[in-house]
Amino acid sequence: MEARAPELDARQEGSRARLQSLGTVLPDVAELQLLFARLNNEFFAGEIPAHRIAYNGRFGNLAGRITYKPPLIELSPKHFEGNVEALRETLLHEMIHAWLHARGENPGHFGPFKRKMRELGLPSIYHDLPQAAHRRRPRR
Instruction: Judge contact between 42 and 99, C-beta under 8 A.
Output: no
Stretch of residues binding Zn ion (CB under 5 A), selected from 33-41, 81-89, 114-122, 126-134: 126-134
Instruction: Judge contact between 91 and 27, C-beta under 8 A.
Output: no
Q: Which is nearer to Zn ion, 22 or 123 (CB)?
A: 123
Stretch of residues binding Zn ion (CB under 5 A), selected from 4-12, 30-38, 84-92, 132-140: 132-140
| Residue 112 backbone zone (phi > 0: left; psi -120 to 50: alpha; other: beta) | alpha
Q: How far apart are CA 136 and CA 131, in angstroms?
A: 15
Alpha carbon separation from 102 to 94, 114, 131 (Å, rounded): 12, 17, 30
In the complex, minimum distance from the CB of residue 119 to Zn ion, in angstroms, rounded to a whole number: 16
In the complex, minimum distance from the CB of residue 93 to Zn ion, in angstroms, rounded to a whole number: 6
In the complex, minimum distance from the CB of residue 130 to Zn ion, in angstroms, rounded to a whole number: 18
Q: Which is nearer to Zn ion, 69 or 137 (CB)?
A: 137
Q: Which is nearer to Zn ion, 28 or 119 (CB)?
A: 119
Task: List contacts with Zn ion (CB under 5 A).
Answer: 134
